[in-house]
Structure 1
């Protein structure tokens, strides 16, 4: 059991357990009425929403409500949902229920539900026998359908589930094989600086949870906690998370990210601390990922900037990449102020709009998109970015624009009264510097419009965007903090 994660307050707040009792469930800001006997195969909402329905993560809020109140309705509802799924979703029927990624998440939910309510469930031996029989069937199915076609976070998710199930069923042979492959994927997917190689802060947290859960099951089987922490690079992964999210009240929006999918920062780091003795360390740069972090106490409060000058992702897995190179987000006392627009949804007509260059607080050269995002999860040609220099209060990165051979350099300086952004191109070209404001927007010279800002999946609101053009290939923009007057843009 990892109660720090199972009952993370940030996670629990996403679910209305009383609505679930009434057969209504909200996932990703969309609510549906559910017939637990039949709705598993209904065309409800979007494919991503249906995936989430089959994840069964909402079993844990029901378990917590029962543990807190003693109201058996929550306990019985959780059991009834599992029983209804088993009756309605035999393996032969296939579909979303048996997608390998879905199986990988659902078995983790079931194992957590069994662990948190082990004493109560022990009184219903028939139910426990049925759920174990289903887990065994899902175990076999998953082992035969590993997502080696997608790899990346999907394959790691599969392997985490195999390790947990192998421990649960005392299957030493499969455990040895799956643990060996999981360690291999940790070496492949966790960069030397600790960041997950798809460079999404959201997926980074999901992967950290995967590693913590796998390590916890292995520790219960007798593996040494310190050795597991080393095998799974937990210190480095936690360092990257803390560096990314210290002094930030939500998940930074780089590549596909949103604030209502992964477990919260505090729960993840608390679990790593409690279970494996890990204290996260702050680094102002993740050189392999291409992220730089500037933090400064100013007259406006504690200001944090996250600056991205990294590649879009691994060349064989760019499905979650955005055109966000040289973009930055700025938080003041934790609250987002200058932002990227986010992701909103995977299956939506606006999917590619959210991925476009000017949906991010970055610079665009000659109206060219940084990367060729030609389908919701497909990237062809892509530009290349890298960090040039990172100091205490400034960061500099460069981008080589695909197809044009134009080099764009951006320098961000964090000052006491505002942020100075310098963009320049070589050879001199027309550049457009975009700034999206989630909070109070100061006057910044340029064309002002409104864009959709989606800090969470399924939820968007208007935000003010300023696009400042420069014909001569160089522009400096002064952005005063909300408490200060504008000093002027150059």
Structure 2
């Protein structure tokens, strides 16, 4: 019985003790020694899916430690970093630097470290129970991904036959381990990426006796993962943009080899999923355990064409909703907690959101850690404290969230997301409404009840400065909360998070500034306005009044009415039977009223009254409607979307 995340240990001499005779047999004994085998393999080797690119900037700096000497055991690394060290990403720069300079010192350093690593690797013990440091899914995948492309240039090089044989034996041993391990489907990124490199090595080294069997098993697992591990909306099972990118990159390797992968609809959907999440700055936010992803090169490599993005996108299986205006964007998380081989990559927050605009983060979150060995990994990066959410009694959210989300409301100028969850042992609801017309902004309404302490958390890249009662500015973002200052305890703190660096398309860690609003009621109404300072929020009856310069918005539970300089600009409502002084209906409708035009969506036949004068047109057709006291009465004959216009038709 397994005590770890993979099968019980199945490492034997055919995996980690492959000598010259064993290696010759692996290729069908075509030669008598390594030199002959090297010539045989070199004549039959196929090009890797992604041949080594021209060495990039920073290669010599990356290779410099090899000239000084690297401890090949990786001892002293953290619990998780030790495993990553044995992916041998640090060894490959020796080949890159040799190609760039022609200096054999780099090739000799590569050989010396490879020899020592092979001799000492199996003496290294990791801290994850039941998980070998060398022979496990990510290790065999990453070493093949890093080193298989080097065979093309190292086979005809001055690298010794001994080192060449050890390199090939390492790759063959890893493939054998992966073949034995992955004989049945299991969820997660480990198996899928491992299968893609099993397919890759079988294509690059077709003269291996086991090549056909490896390819067959790899194709089986890849096909199963495309069906079961990639959601219909294109997202990867674990809901992390970073791991989505890792899996998609691996599948792009498989697609170069297998046309069925390249033509699979889920493969195409994975590219679309990334495009949906790309900000105007070219990056994808670090949702769940993820870094900031810059997907342009990956999307281009996959042949994905740019999309004209809609004003709103719902990724229902992945659990993300994206609301867009011309510049402002909100990404809302409402997905499930997903298990993992070791530790879940899902964070302890739901119905949380991030805002960005003009290429930059506005409302931000902690995202993924620098390393899974970071002491703040669980207490900050994964914790609800590092997210834009409402905490209850400072507890962490349960993995059983019981999330439900209403159909998205989109009336054109206003989009409304509404959801609820029970992850803290009680129902908490959150409504996120975005007004798209300038001045564009977001209103977040939280509701919960019970004898608890509720703490609304908000995070930005700049310090929060108080500018009024429950009003705070974080340089590019103004936050106003419509509650009672007397019953609210306000706090600020500082954590850490990645931030995108547009000029270099990288990310760096820096301060993340937290604002907390604590009270005994779970009701919060928070207005988030970018690049503004002349904003006031008041309550009038049951409505919220937001004044921003000459613009006044009157916001109800299901209505939004905008006036500019005291004159009505437009009014909209959803699941309503009335917009005061504008529209009345016998059934619930969604409506947008602008001047003398009404766009109405109904779910059944209904009678409608609209404020109108003159000729009345329904979907462009003049109708004979009764008009009395400024109200026109008509019937919408069946469910659908209708346009009602009044006036002289000019």
What residue in structure 2 maps to residue 421 of structure 1? 443
Residue number in structure 1 paired with 2:72: 40
Conserved 8 A contact 2:319-2:336: yes
Distance 2:406 2:105 in 1: 55
Indicate the residue corresponding to 1:203 in structure 2: 243
The 3 A distance-change label for structure 1 pair 250 and 50 is: farther
2:524 aligns with 475
Q: Which residue of 2 aligns with 1:362?
A: 389
Q: Tell me how far apart the structure 2 counterparts of residues 92 and 427 of structure 1 sit (CA, whole Å).
A: 53
Q: CA deviation at 1:464?
A: 1.4
Partner of 1:97: 134
CA displacement, residues 284-328 of structure 1 (integer Å, 9 cap, x when unaligned): 22121121222322xxxx333221121122598871110221111
Q: State the match for 1:27 in structure 2.
A: none
RCO comparison, higher one (Cα < 8 Å, 6+): 1
Mapping of 1:123-202 within 5 angstroms?
Answer: 127-146=163-182, 151-170=187-206, 171-202=211-242
CA apart distance, 1:487: 3.7
1:389 aligns with 2:408: yes
Check the 8 A contact 1:305/1:331 in 2, yes or no: yes
Higher helix share: 1
Greater alpha carbon shift after TM alignment, 97-106 vs 426-435: 426-435
Q: Is the 8 A contact 1:162 1:178 kept in 2?
A: yes
Where 1:289 maps in the other structure, the secondary structure is coil
User: Which secondary structure does the structure 1 equivalent of 2:318 belong to?
Assistant: coil
| 2:403 and 2:421 in contact (8 A); partners too | yes
Q: Verify the 8 A CA contact 1:396 1:412 in the aligned structure 2.
A: yes
Structure 1 partner of 2:609:
none
Deviation at 1:182, TM superposition (A): 1.7
- 1:212 CA displacement: 0.8
Q: After alignment, is 304-313 or 472-481 more displaced?
A: 472-481
Tell me how far 1:395 sits from its aligned partner. Answer: 4.3
Specify whether residues 400 and 129 from structure 1 end up closer, same or farther in structure 2 by C-alpha distance, changes over 3 A only. same
> What CA deviation, in whole Å up to 9, does each residue of 1:430-462 have, x standing for no partner?
643221001444453572412322228997432
Partner of 1:256: 289
2:299 to 269, 286, 295: 269
Unpaired runs of 5+ residues, structure 1, are: 25-33, 372-378
- For 1:458 and 1:52, locate their aligned partners in 2 and report how far apart those are by CA, in whole Å: 20
> Which of 361, 365, 369 lines up with 1:336 in the alignment?
361
Q: More deviation in 338-347 or 317-326? A: 317-326
Query: 1:211 deviation in Å?
Result: 0.5
Match of 2:21 in 1: none
* Superposition deviation, residue 55 in structure 1: 1.5
- 1:97 Cα deviation (Å)? 2.4
Displacement of 1:56 in angstroms is: 2.3
1:290 correspondence with 2:323 = no
Q: What per-residue deviation string (whole Å, max 9, x for no partner) do you get for residues 20-65 of structure 1? A: 32349xxxxxxxxx843xx232422312322232222345555555
CA distance in 2, matches of 1:292, 1:234: 21
User: What SS does the aligned partner of 1:256 have?
Assistant: coil
Q: Following the alignment from structure 1 to structure 2, what is the Cα–Cα distance between the partners of residues 388 and 368?
A: 29
Aligned position for 1:113:
150
- 8 Å Cα contact 1:147-1:158 kept in structure 2: no
Contact 2:408 2:418 in 1 (8 A): yes
Native 8 Å contact 1:340 1:436 kept in 2: yes
Residue 390 to residue 241, structure 1, CA distance change in 2 (3 Å):
farther
Closer/same/farther in 2, CA of residues 295 and 420 from structure 1, 3 Å limit: closer
- Note if 1:435 corresponds to 2:461: no
Does structure 1 residue 453 correspond to structure 2 residue 496?
A: yes
How large is the Cα RMSD of the aligned pairs? Answer: 3.6
**Residues 315 and 2 of structure 1, relative CA distance in 2, 3 Å threshold:** closer
Alignment partners' CA distance in 2, 1:121 and 1:161: 24
Answer whether contact 1:408 1:424 (CA < 8 A) is retained.
yes
Does residue 464 (structure 1) correspond to residue 513 (structure 2)? The answer is yes
Please give the secondary structure, in 1, of the residue aligned with 2:321: strand
Aligned to 2:335: 310
Deviations 1:332-379 (A, max 9, x none): 2222221111232312332221212121012334544322xxxxxxx5
The aligned residue for residue 29 of structure 1 is none
Identify which of 432, 439, 452 aligns with 1:411.
Answer: 432
> Which residue does the alignment assign to 1:376?
none
Structure 2 residue runs without a partner (length 5+)? 1-47, 127-131, 463-473, 481-488, 500-505, 540-650
**8 Å Cα contact 1:91/1:98 also seen in 2:** no
1:91 CA drift (Å): 9.0
Which structure 2 residues correspond to residues 372-387 of structure 1 after superposition, within 5 A? 381-386=400-405
State TM-score, norm by structure 1. Answer: 0.79
Contact 2:448 2:521 in 1 (8 A): no
Matched residue of 2:325: which SS? strand
Give 1:240 deviation, angstroms: 0.4
Structure 2 Cα separation of the partners of residues 178 and 3 of structure 1: 18
Is the 8 Å Cα contact of residues 448 and 523 (structure 2) preserved in structure 1? no
* Partner in structure 1 of residue 623 of structure 2: none
Other structure's SS at 1:464 match: strand
Higher strand share: 2
Return the alpha-carbon distance in structure 1 between the equivalents of residues 383 and 201 of structure 2: 40
- Equivalents in 2 of 1:157, 1:336: separation in Å? 31
Q: Give me the whole-angstrom Cα distance separating, in 2, the residues matched to 1:390 and 1:112.
A: 50
User: C-alpha offsets along residues 73-113 of structure 1, whole Å, 9 cap, x if unaligned?
Assistant: 54554444434323332599895222332121111111122
SS of aligned partner of 1:202: helix
Q: How many residues align?
A: 448
Distance 1:65 1:384 in 2: 51
**In 2, Cα distance between the equivalents of 1:285 and 1:404?**
27
Q: Deviations over 1:392-435 (max 9, x none)?
A: 66341413223623131231415434532322325577643221
SS in structure 2 of the partner of residue 209 of structure 1 = helix
